[in-house]
A and B are shown apart, each in its own frame.
Chain A
Amino acid sequence: MSGTDRTPPGFAEFVSSRYPALTRYGTLLTGDRGHGEDLAQEALVKTFRAWRRLHEQGDPEAYTRRVMVRAAWRAGKRLWRREVPAAAPPERAAGGDAYADRDTAEVVLEALRGLPAAQRVVLVLRYWAGLSEQEIAAQLGCSTGTVKSRASRAIAALRQAGGPLAEAFTENGPHQPVRPVP
């Protein structure tokens, strides 16, 4: 490891202690554990680069989570040079009870994965992180109208797909967001 790569004081401890939680957050934002961990690591690279400022004056975890959210949001907004649009949409599973004999967690993550990235990010911020539409708009750099439409489309898509997330919305209506305990 070169000199410039040596971890500054406190960084290793921060990563070690918060990495599992950040990976879980990334999993929610992407609907996939592997991509979620990838998102967390990419964000932590940025945190590393800004560590001196963050360690002394800032909140490194909040910064890392913000970077993750914005990266997940941008991933859903941009068409990248390396991407070629698929000629046909992926095939959907045939009818029947798709949820029988399957772990609820697996079904929930699959439902999240099925959402476009922008809708998934808004859904997680609104109903898991408990942010207001205004707070989400500020964090994502978009209008509250965009936040509303993404949330509305996400809920409609979940209802259409069925499963536990759909039932959570259908039976009780969208729950009032509750801020997570830090």
Chain B
Amino acid sequence: MTQPLRELLDDAVAGVEPGSRDPVASVMGRHRAARRRRVVAGAVACVLAVAAAGGALAASRHTVNRPLPPVGVVPAEPPTPRVVDGVIVAGALRLPIPDGWRVTARGSGEQCPPWDNEVMIHRVGAADCSTSSIRVSAVRTNAYPVGSILEAPGDDVFTPLPLFTLRGGEPALVGEHAFTTSQTTMVLPWSRVEVDFYLDGPASRAIVDTITTEPTGSGRLNLPASVRSADFTRPDASGKFTLASHGRITDAATIGKVTSLLRDQRKVVSPEDACAAPDDPGALLIADAFIVVTLGEDCQEAFSDQGGRVKLSDSAVRELTRLFGIEVR
């Protein structure tokens, strides 16, 4: 076989024909479906929240004699972002509209119109909305980035995304290259809100600093009632993630020990005491819920995207590491 690579690739797709007979209709249908999806996601979230509440209730009955703090919960339905007295309000988020910015009106002929259930603001007089706007929306589905996939020799390693604590205490996940590129996405899992900054990094960061929050997801860690497998990735002593720093368990007994250990953590972090910062080293535990463990020198806490945030002792972190069979060198 001596064909140049490009010819091989060209030949491989030469016979590919689109499945859609009417691509324009398909694209426009997808555009409309993206709007409808929010409504469906709301219904699904409602069912999930009822199930989670049921699990939390069952757990609380087992521990009726123990003064455990309540389990953190996320809202049943994503909020509808709105503007109140010059401030964008969505879940726990309060984003003051900066001076020189205005709300993008629907049907106003703007280049980038807002979607349904979304508040969009743009810098007045900016020529390009793709570099001077902010969108605040409800998380459209129950899907949002929670980690990164790091390629390591032999296999992929799941690593946590940087975790912010916004003013007021709401946790927020941002991408790996947040505030260094022209687009930064920030997700507030407890509020089920996403903020997309179409701005340069420093400008985005400056606006983040004006955000205040009123969190409602505090409590003990919220975990699903049934977990079939769990993954834990933590950095090694040098701060790097490798295959050796990742463990996966599937046997019910060990999973039970892990979930019990997490559920029994009762030092709930209050919003004013929350301390996770993006520069802190972090670990990621996946047990259907996604749990980011902050391993800072002065800040060691675990946050569940399904609700709940607790302080973790050194011994708890060591025990988690042991249960997953990870050797930290």
Contact = CB atoms under 8 A, between A and B. Distances in A.
Instruction: Note whether A and B form a binding pair.
Output: yes
Interface of A: 1-5, 7, 11-12, 15-16, 19-20, 23-25, 27-28, 33-34, 36-37, 40-42, 44-45, 48-50, 52-53, 76-82, 84-85, 87, 89, 104-105, 108-109, 112, 116, 118-119, 124, 127-128, 130, 141, 150, 153, 164-165, 167-169, 171-172, 174-175, 177-178, 180
Closest 9 A-B residue pairs measured CB to CB? A79-B147, A167-B1, A108-B12, A19-B23, A24-B13, A105-B12, A82-B143, A78-B145, A23-B18
A84 to B, nearest CB: 7
B16 A81 contact: no
A48 B25 CA distance: 12
Interface string B37-78: 000000000000000000000000000000000000000000
Contact of B30 (A36, A42, A76, A118): A42
Chain A interface secondary structure, helix, strand, loop or mixed?
helix
Contacts of B141: 82
A50 B5 contact: no
Nearest to A43: B27
Query: How many B residues touch the partner, as a band?
Result: 35 or more
Contact of B27 (A33, A44, A109, A150): A44
Interface of B: 1-6, 8-20, 23-24, 26-28, 30-32, 34, 106-107, 111-113, 128-130, 141-149, 151, 155-156, 158, 175-177, 181, 228-229, 231, 248, 250, 286, 288, 290, 305
12 contacts: A4-B106, A37-B20, A45-B31, A49-B31, A49-B112, A79-B148, A84-B229, A105-B14, A108-B9, A124-B9, A128-B10, A175-B5
Contact of B3 (A82, A87, A164): A164
A168 B106 CA distance: 53
Contacts of B128: 53
B16 A24 contact: yes
A108 to B, nearest CB: 4
Contacts of A48: 27-28, 31
A41 B5 contact: no
B158 A78 contact: no
Contacts of A119: 151
Contacts of A76: 149
Contact of A28 (B9, B20, B228): B9
A5 B36 CA distance: 14
B81 to A, nearest CB: 18
A179 to B, nearest CB: 10
A124 B27 CA distance: 25
A153 B151 contact: yes
Contacts of B229: 84-85, 87
Contact of A79 (B9, B27, B145): B145
A124 B13 CA distance: 12
A85 B158 contact: yes
